[in-house]
A and B are shown apart, each in its own frame.
Chain A
Amino acid sequence: MVDLEVLTFLILSAIEVGAALMVVTAKKLVHNVFWLAVTLITIGAIYLLFRAEFIALIQIIVYAGAVPVLFLFGIMLTRRKIMEEPHESQ
């Protein structure tokens, strides 16, 4: 019989490690921020698996809610172009 908790933990860890790798390898900066949010929310889910409900919720409020949005603001306020222009990418 498979231990469901261990299985859930392994799946969540796989998602988290994959998303963390995508944070550093994705080409577009906004994609990096999206994967960062995925990583942080998955960490919250792992806290939930450890029955630490309070720290899971605080993780989601503070990290998943605020940090990626601040990153996005930073990117969007400092870069000249929001995306590559179509004629440049072709």
Chain B
Amino acid sequence: MSGHLVDLWGWSHALASFILWLLSLPLELVNWISFQATGGPAPGVPGLIDFVTGEGLTAFVAVIIAVNILLLWATAFHLLIIMWIERKMYSRLQDRRGIMIGLGSAEILRNTLGRIPLIGRPFRRPSHLGTGFLQTVADGVKLFQKEVITPATADKWMFHAAPVMIAASTLMLFVAIPWSDGFWLMGAYESRVVNGAPAVVPVNPWGILVVLAAFSIAPLGILIAGWASNNKYTLLGGMRAAAQLMSYEIPMLLSIIALVIYAGTLDPFELVRNQTAPLTYGLGPYGSLTVPWVQNWYILNPILWIAFLVFFITVIAEAERIPFDIPEAEAELVEGWTTEYSGMRFGIVFGFKWLRAIAGAALIVILFFGGWSGPVFMTLDAPNLAASGSTYSIPILFQEFWFTVKVYLIFIVFVWIGWSVPRVRIDQILNIGWKSLVPLSVLSILLAALARGTGWF
């Protein structure tokens, strides 16, 4: 069994206690001076110290810290890496190298560190041989420096409110998506029986539903952004985006319902726990067939393949990626509903499409590819400082690693599909959504119900 490295709530709580302890130090000093001067505590100060270091305030600060850690994890870590992966991947598909600005491209580093005989070798390379990772950082800095322009005829209030709605609904996706058994924001620890042994595990009974609710708020913000810019291109892009997101939400919900009927839970932790068991096919009245050494990923079950196909396509459409990126068809609509936004506001509305793609990929991994389960080859036994005599085993390949690798692999498939196929026309998009995907997802519900009812698969 693999272990998790991050314990988000434990870490946040420890950090909150530390910060509040630092804050209480001046109060302790005041108290100490008061004791030296008068022989008694300063009036009101001991109560204040109790409040500052007390459990209520600590829990409150811990919530804020946990939310911020998750926010940074989503935007500062995943967003930069996913942008870099996308740009390198599609450059490779177009038979070129893509962005290559790296640390070695900086003149100042080449002239200083590069002069050092042996160590400076990476900084002496020509500027076109970098990995290009710093290009995404440079683009972010550039967006921060640009002027924020509000169009003269725009509806100012709505124009400013729309990016907030889009950003809020996108970040709401990340609230409910857990990244491992310890790295989650929404949930609680409960005692359950897991694989025949009692264990304390995280549970979140409505996790998948929260993600779907967050996906369903997005079209409103996009439509309002397109309308408030008061521009024909943005309005057309907003209408297309809203029509597309609305019509692809339905097969998405239905295909998830198929999986939920099969798995019997909406809890992402429970879904992943189910998928860590050995692969088992039910054979109806003839018992069941268990395949050893293989994990019970739902993608390995033929009854769910239609649901997986529908869900995969709808996730691409919800993230507005290329076969379904008609809302921002740059050949006809300039930049779609994001046309009038500039500066970091453009960065938010445009970059958060990548965040939606990451969230969609994470959802695919949780639902079909076993989540953060994976083999662990080694654990490092370190002495546990809290309890002497016992050891604390640190996994070498921890759950967050497996989950991130799987999410990035799914995202690479998104990029691969996106830059290999042409853009689909808007009426064709709606036809695919309503005439193909909805019936297919209903069929997958039927199949899942049949499998549950008869005991086969």
Contact = CB atoms under 8 A, between A and B. Distances in A.
A65 B220 contact: yes
A65 B155 contact: no
Contacts of A31: 158
A73 B213 contact: no
Interface string B209-245: 1101100110110011001101000010001001100
B220 A72 contact: yes
Interface residues of B: mostly helix, strand, loop or mixed?
A: helix
B153 interface: yes
Interface string B143-165: 00000000001010010010000
A83 B220 contact: no
Contacts of A76: 227, 235, 239
B216 A60 contact: yes
Contacts of B253: 61
Nearest to B206: A53
A15 to B, nearest CB: 15
Interface residues of B, number: 26
Contacts of A66: 216, 246
Interface residues on chain A, size class: 20 to 34
Given A66-B246, A76-B239, A61 B206 contact: no
Nearest to B227: A30
A57 B242 contact: no
A83 B210 CA distance: 35
B224 A65 contact: no
Nearest to A83: B230
Contacts of B239: 73, 76
Interface of A: 28, 30-31, 34, 37, 41, 53-54, 57, 60-61, 64-66, 68-69, 72-73, 76, 82-83, 86
16 contacts: A28-B155, A30-B224, A34-B161, A54-B206, A57-B206, A57-B209, A57-B213, A60-B216, A61-B212, A61-B253, A66-B246, A72-B227, A73-B239, A82-B235, A83-B153, A83-B230
Given A53-B205, A61-B213, A83-B227, 10 more contacts: A53-B206, A61-B212, A64-B216, A64-B217, A65-B220, A68-B220, A69-B246, A73-B239, A73-B243, A83-B155
